[in-house]
Amino acid sequence: MNLLRGVGRILLGGFFIANGVKAVRDPEPFVAAAQPLADKVVPLAQRALPDEAAAYVPRDTATLVRLNGVASVLGGLGMVTGISTKGGGALAALSMLPHVAAAKSSTLDKDTARSLVVRNLALLGAALVVSQDTKGRPSLAWRANDTRVRLARQADRAAKSVAKDASHMTQLAGKDLKAFKKQARLQAKVARKSLESKLP
């Protein structure tokens, strides 16, 4: 594993773990910022989901903040431990979406709100990058394409080799045929002379 990549994942994952633990332990500081978003999203989710699933959507904003904190902790742990880097990055990115939306609709002064949005977007972007990390190995799609290209090259070389061998064999067959015809003519000439000498 690349040391720089590992350190970066630990630092980024550590942020998500710390933020998530804070939200799980004490959700109250986040509730005010999350309330306008919860008021919009919860009814929408309840309408979109089937009745059986809609019953499980929490209406309490503090519970939603805690659930988002759990997603953040799990995402951070996935990144830090390397057990599921891609899954951890995806969970961490998912946990950042409410933060981005809440920062946009916050009542803070313009400069503070802007810097908060930029920070949250940067963290979201970093988590998305980690969710696509292949740990230095090429992706499955790249490997499949590389194998296809190499097999095509090998097939092309094999086809050229077969065509060359066929051409060589045709030339040999042509030479053999010429030699056979020449020998047949000689034998016919000898046979004719022999016959002529025996005739009265």
Q: What is the pLDDT of residues 56-65, one digit of tens each?
A: 888 888 888 8
DSSP 37-82: HHHHHHHHHHHHS-HHHHTTS---HHHHHHHHHHHHHHHHHHHHH-
Q: The tokens 């002379």 sit on which residue?
A: 193
Q: What is the pLDDT of residues 89-107, one digit of tens each?
A: 999 999 998 888 777 666 6
Please state, in angstroms and rounded to a whole number, the distance separating the CA atoms of residues 167 and 189.
33
Tokens of 87: 């899954």
Q: How many helices (H) and strands (E) does the chain have?
A: 7, 0
Q: At what angle do helices 85-104 and 28-48 cross, to 10 degrees?
A: 100
Burial 71-92 (b: 16+ CB within 10 A, else e): bbbbbbbbbbebeebeebbbbb
- Phi, psi of 39, deg, nearest 5: -65, -30
Q: What is the pLDDT of residue 163?
A: 79
pLDDT over 90 at 176, yes or no: no
Q: Examine the pLDDT at 193 and tell me if it is beyond 80.
A: no
Q: What is the pTM of this model?
A: 0.63
Identify whether the C-beta of residue 43 lies closer than 8 Å to the C-beta of residue 104.
no
The candidate with the shortest Cα–Cα distance to 116, out of 96, 92, 91, is 96
E strands in the chain? none
Q: How far, in Å, CA of 194 to CA of 92, rounded?
A: 102
3-state DSSP assignment of residue 27: coil
Cβ contact 103:120 at 8 Å = yes
Q: Per-domain residue ranges for the chain? A: 3-137, 143-200
Q: How far apart are CA 88 and CA 82, in angstroms?
A: 9
pLDDT in tens, 131-154: 887 776 777 777 788 888 888 888
Give the residue from 35, 40, 96 showing the smallest Cα distance to 68. Answer: 96
pLDDT in tens, 106-120: 666 788 878 888 888
